[in-house]
Amino acid sequence: MKTDEIRTSFLEFFRQKEHKIVPSDLLVPQDDPTVLFTPAGMNQFKDMFLGRGKMEFTRAASCQKCLRTDDIEKVGQTPGHHTFFEMLGNFSFGDYFKKEAIQWAWEYLLEWLHIPEERLVVSIYEEDNEAAEIWEKHIGVARDKIYAFGPGENFWPANVQTLGPNGPCGPCTEIFYDQGEDVGCGTPQCDPSCDCPRYVEVWNLVFTQFDRQSDGSLVPLPRKNIDTGMGLERTAAVMQGVATNFDIDIFAPIINQLSSGLSQAYGTDEEIDRRLRRIADHIRAVTFAIAEGVLPSNEARGYVVRRLLRRAAMDARFLRSTDALFFQIVPTVVEVMKEAYPDLVQREGHIVQVIRSEEERFQDTLEAGTRRLEEKLSQMKQKGQGELPGEEAFRFYDTYGLPLETIQEICSEWDITVDVDGFNKAMEAQRELARTASGLGGEIFTVDQIAARIKGLIVSGKKKTTGEEGTEFLDDKILETEFLGNKMLESEAEILDLSDKDENPQETASAGEEVIIILDQTPFYAESGGQVGDTGVIEGEDFLVKVEDTKVRGTLFLHYGQVTKGEAKRGSSVVAKVDEKRRLALERNHTATHLLHFALRQVLGPHAQQAGALKTPERLRFDFTHP
Ligand code: SER
């Protein structure tokens, strides 16, 4: 079965199970400052898991473009790790739960993909008797094929009890394809948690049923959710009977082209294979990132793209090529991915151009790095120093892309050693940073004070029973602020929530105090799309609040300001007035960004895409992609 067919069949299966088929979110999420790149299918539904968003549907399925750098060291080394990959997923927001999720996953694998049942084994969280029982009694999986593991393996996020983050989380059950004893490490203790290639983790079903608290306790959520993630490339490898993800139909042409371009046979030498796989993975990842407007740079997303390209370039150098070659691979990537991502076709020329100039620039950087290192070593020699400090060595690696081995080689010509421990320490510190930046480490489900309190503001509706026997939950109505600011700049409103600047709830606040106010309806525009929030006043019968900023959180608008007269009270009727002169200036600058964008596309070409913008009353800034 072709990868394109698996993608389509997965979505069709869940469409038939009454799921809304949602397109992949962008790889560069627009409204989620906590992640650089979309790390998982559930990312675009975070608000719905938290009960913050509008619930227009309660079942969804998607094929999500993801990019993670957490496992970067494993890419190429193992058969199934990537930076960029596609995650198939089905989601329930307070709708179905464990039984249906397990039953449907099994049905899809057996009846739609026709994977032989005897090849599949599953794992559960050691305390999740409910899941164990469903597998054993309901599905009929033999007990010796159900493995129980701890929170490091079978909780999502992993080890959340001890490590956090706070917020929704839950045990998971995973489905593995057993390739047989011959493929694995062959040790008696080998099981699905083993790092060897025998068990391919195909599908992770997360039962998002708890809300982790700061003290590490897990409080049951009123609405239980399902978040599943199935690796498309891994599933394709299983279906196509190939040894690694890099041998599937959408990867093989990339590997083949690299193999001939670098004059290195694939499949004869493990070291060469590893490097070819890594280059293939990284070129695919940067192709997708650049297609969405990311340009190589020294910051955030751009830095990830630059690092991926440089790692690939170092692999190519190891394989004795210093020619710019990767840009020639882009059309092949586009060709194999275009059925699912037709937009790539239009962006191809731009991607080729960006990669080519970055490759050429990197060659120059490497030469400059070598020169600088030699200058440094010459100075050290004069001072009689015999060891290059680890931090210093890391700087040459980080800034100029010189690999440690190259640094050591050059140093040895000067009779200088390298502090390798110090280098590794600096490297580890940077990885830690990268993990945090990827978002999976800490902030995926950050729950703030106000969001937590919103739960208390939820208007409870009628009781409803889920498909699962005996489970009841409230059919909640999520509270929201109605935005009136498109039609008027002044309106009546009611104060729904009043808190101090640290988000602690207050009944009243007197003159001089800084406050955050949530209204039932508001003409204040909240900061978004680069336009800063409105300012103005909120007038009560005998008090006045000067609003200095407005921000949106989920379905609510937060007015940040200071009480300047009298005593503001929760529940009061007020009049909310936007500073009109300032808003009109903002609108003009906003309009101007659209004009500028249009003009840039006319003059530079359709690749000139918006990559960010700032609209203040005084000025505008417009970031766009152009090499
Ligand atoms: N969020 C889970 C994962 O990333 C399942 O989709 O594995």
Whether residue 322 is predicted with pLDDT greater than 60 in this model: the reply is yes
Tell me which amino acid residue 288 is: F
State in Å: Cα 230 to ligand 1 middle. 8
> What is the atom index within ligand 1 of the atom nearest the CA of 39?
4
Inter-CA distances, 501 with 64, 259, 351, 462, 579, Å: 37, 59, 45, 35, 22
Write the pLDDT tens digit of every residue in 239-268.
Answer: 999 999 999 999 999 999 999 999 999 999
pLDDT band at 459 (very low <50, low <70, confident <90, very high): very low
What DSSP assignment string belongs to 469-508?
TT-EEE--B---PEE-TTT-SEEEEEEEEEEETT--B-SE
Whether residue 612 is predicted with pLDDT greater than 60 in this model: the reply is yes
Answer for the pair 501, 516: CB distance below 8 angstroms, yes or no.
yes
3-state secondary structure of 188: coil
Residue that has been written with the tokens 């955050």 in this structure: 516
d(CA 39, CA 110): 28
E-state strands within 263-313? none
- Residues of the chain by 3-state class (helix, strand, coil), percent to 5: 40, 25, 35
Answer for the pair 91, 43: CB distance below 8 angstroms, yes or no.
no
Question: What's the pLDDT score for residue 623?
Answer: 84
| Cis previous bond, 171, omega within 30 | no
Q: CA 121, 125, 131, 133 torsion: positive or negative?
A: positive
Whether residue 437 is predicted with pLDDT greater than 60 in this model: the reply is no
Whether residue 450 is predicted with pLDDT greater than 50 in this model: the reply is yes
Question: What's the pLDDT score for residue 627?
Answer: 75
Q: CA 212, 217, 218, 221 torsion: positive or negative?
A: negative
Half-sphere exposure of residue 448: CA atoms within 13 angstroms, side-chain side: 12
Least confident residue range of 24-38, 275-289, 466-480? 466-480
DSSP H or E run through 374: helix 343-383
CB 206: neighbour CB atoms within 10 A? 26
pLDDT band at 454 (very low <50, low <70, confident <90, very high): low
Question: What's the pLDDT score for residue 449?
Answer: 55
Question: What's the pLDDT score for residue 241?
Answer: 95
Q: Is the CB of 40 under 6 A from ligand 1?
A: yes
Question: What's the pLDDT score for residue 474?
Answer: 35
Write the pLDDT tens digit of every residue in 100-157.
Answer: 999 999 999 999 999 999 999 999 999 999 999 999 999 999 999 999 999 999 999 8
Query: Rounded to two decimals, what is the model's pTM?
Result: 0.73
Q: Is the CB of 283 under 6 A from ligand 1?
A: no
State in Å: Cα 332 to ligand 1 middle. 29
Answer for the pair 90, 57: CB distance below 8 angstroms, yes or no.
no
Answer for the pair 288, 351: CB distance below 8 angstroms, yes or no.
no
Write the pLDDT tens digit of every residue in 522-580.
Answer: 999 998 878 899 999 999 999 999 999 999 876 789 999 999 999 999 999 999 999 99
3-state secondary structure of 148: strand
Answer for the pair 331, 291: CB distance below 8 angstroms, yes or no.
no
3-state secondary structure of 185: coil
pLDDT band at 435 (very low <50, low <70, confident <90, very high): low
pLDDT band at 163 (very low <50, low <70, confident <90, very high): confident
Protein residue with least CA distance to atom 2, ligand 1: 229
pLDDT band at 465 (very low <50, low <70, confident <90, very high): very low
Question: What's the pLDDT score for residue 441?
Answer: 36
pLDDT band at 12 (very low <50, low <70, confident <90, very high): very high
Question: What's the pLDDT score for residue 451?
Answer: 54
State in Å: Cα 445 to ligand 1 middle. 13
3-state secondary structure of 348: helix
Our mutation pick for probing the ligand 1 site, out of 24, 201, 204, 438, counting the most ligand atoms within 8 A of Cβ, is 204
Whether residue 475 is predicted with pLDDT greater than 90 in this model: the reply is no
Question: What's the pLDDT score for residue 481?
Answer: 83
Whether residue 470 is predicted with pLDDT greater than 90 in this model: the reply is no
Tell me how far apart the terminal alpha carbons of the chain are, to the nearest angstrom.
39
Nearest to 319 by CA among 266, 358, 366, 281: 266
Burial code of 445-463, b = ≥16 C-beta within 10 A, e = fewer? bebeebbeebbeeeeeeee
Our mutation pick for probing the ligand 1 site, out of 156, 438, 444, counting the most ligand atoms within 8 A of Cβ, is 156
Q: Which two tokens stand for residue 432?
A: 């830690």
Whether residue 428 is predicted with pLDDT greater than 90 in this model: the reply is no
Q: 113: Cβ–Cβ under 8 A, 6 or more apart, which residues?
A: 1, 6, 9, 235, 239
387-414 average pLDDT score? 89
What DSSP assignment string belongs to 273-287?
HHHHHHHHHHHHHHH
> What is the atom index within ligand 1 of the atom nearest the CA of 41?
6
Whether residue 16 is predicted with pLDDT greater than 70 in this model: the reply is yes
What DSSP assignment string belongs to 392-426?
HHHHHHHHH---HHHHHHHHHHTT-EE-HHHHHHH
Q: 391: Cβ–Cβ under 8 A, 6 or more apart, which residues?
A: 422, 423, 426
3-state secondary structure of 515: strand
CB 72: neighbour CB atoms within 10 A? 22
d(CA 38, CA 90): 16
Whether residue 605 is predicted with pLDDT greater than 50 in this model: the reply is yes
Phi, psi of 191 (to 5 degrees): -145, 180
pLDDT band at 32 (very low <50, low <70, confident <90, very high): confident
Inter-CA distances, 406 with 211, 410, 576, Å: 49, 6, 64
Nearest to 320 by CA among 374, 266, 261, 360: 261
> What is the atom index within ligand 1 of the atom nearest the CA of 89?
6
Q: Is the CB of 204 under 6 A from ligand 1?
A: yes
359-370 average pLDDT score? 87
Protein residue with least CA distance to atom 4, ligand 1: 40
d(CA 7, CA 585): 47
Write the pLDDT tens digit of every residue in 169-224.
Answer: 899 999 999 999 999 899 999 999 998 999 999 999 999 998 888 788 898 887 88
Question: What's the pLDDT score for residue 214?
Answer: 76
Inter-CA distances, 471 with 128, 219, 222, 303, Å: 16, 16, 10, 47
Tell me which amino acid residue 461 is: G
Hey, which residues does 576 pair with through a beta bridge? 491, 538
CB 551: neighbour CB atoms within 10 A? 16
Question: What's the pLDDT score for residue 216?
Answer: 83
